Amino acid sequence: MPIGVRRSLETSYKFMIGSNSEPTAVWTPGPLLGLETSCDETSAAVLNADGAVVSNVISSQHAVHQPFGGVVPELSSRTHIETIEGVASQAMREAGVQWSDLTGLAVTQGPGLAGSLIVGVNYAKALSYALNVPMVGVSHLEGHISSAWLQEPTFPVPCVVLVVSGGHSHLYLMQLDGGCTLLGCTRDDAAGEAFDKGAQMLGLEYPGGPAIDRLAQSGSATAILFPRSYLRKESLDFSFSGLKTALLYKLQQMDQSQRDAQAPDLAAGYQEAIVTVLVDKAFAAVKAYGVAALAVVGGVSANTRLRSLLQRRASTSGIRLSLPPLSYCTDNAAMIAAAGRQALLRGKRAALDMEANACLAVHALTT
């Protein structure tokens, strides 16, 4: 923790710690620090008084987890402990903001890896106590949803939002009052999990999504076809476990030379089966709920084929589409800060006994 904050912590007794503790003053917008540690990125971001992003620092753990082919929770939490102070300090420097200038804090409370979440939540609580500024806990999913408005503040509401990432495939209806209604979600693997597990079977490196995306660009999406799961008619839920099994069976029918020769086509066909279902379900939700706007957010929204199909469908159907820039697709603190800012403006506050919640739902914070 920075020296100035440590000194403040030693002398600050203005908060009573308890479940009903809330700052008594109405929050006045000013510089706000956001913190994100839900999985394998340590991130800190600063918004100015107008809500614009003035810094967004992300420290990735890909090199830590790559030898294991996936995220190792214990290594993730340890790495967050080692990096969070440096990342937060760098975000403050890049923003040109002093610790004493902060007027609020926002931190990912959940969902995510419990040990990783605890690091960010405890760091935020210490800062909140030391600086005597209000803090709010944010749903990681709500953060992803908020990323749709970071570059497009006038993006229309109501709209449908597809959150698609390593651990989530959720469709929401964003309402005029800022609340979210869950329309559909995955019944088994999320789209990002399907990419990671498919990449592992194909012998590609972690993270699997970008690896399949790169390989698929030299293959044909129609050379090797994979099943698409739509579940029952009009269902907005997702299921990718059968697709993963189909890839396994296909690989078992091939020898190593065939796998190597057809790897680009395998990647392209497998990717097409994932992104086609995502696009079809998203636009089905738009039609079913009579809205004219669709936002697609989360790490998988960086997939080049998915973005291409979404833009093509939106153009032909006259639907307004929001695709955040790549820097806001993966886990980042700017989206957490944006969601936290709205919560603070609505009068939300977190007490200093707030705990990380690995299973936190969007509705727990938005309704």
Q: What is the pLDDT of residue 23?
A: 43
Please check whether the two domains, 3-145+330-366 and 152-323, share a CATH topology.
Answer: yes
Average pLDDT value for residue range 249-277: 97
Q: What is the percentage of the chain residues whose pLDDT exceeds 90?
A: 81
Cβ contact 116:71 at 8 Å: no
pLDDT per residue over 3-45, tens digit each?
A: 444 434 333 323 223 333 344 458 999 999 999 999 999 999 9
Show the 3-state SS of 209-267.
HHHHHHHHCCCCCCCCCCCCCCCCCCCCCECCHHHHHHHHHHHHCCCHHHHHHHHHHHH
pLDDT per residue over 160-190, tens digit each?
A: 999 998 888 999 999 888 788 999 999 998 9
Q: What is the pLDDT of residue 168?
A: 86
Strand (E) or helix (H) holding 307: helix 304-317
Whole-model pTM: value is 0.88
Q: What is the pLDDT of residue 365?
A: 42
CATH topology of domain 3-145+330-366: Nucleotidyltransferase; domain 5 (3.30.420)
pLDDT band at 1 (very low <50, low <70, confident <90, very high): low
DSSP 8-class letter at 32: E
- Write the class of the CATH domain 152-323: alpha beta
Distance between CA atoms of residues 2 and 194, nearest Å: 41
Quick one: tokens of 81? 């402990």
Break the chain into its structural domains and give their ranges.
Answer: 3-145+330-366, 152-323
Distance between CA atoms of residues 28 and 47, nearest Å: 13
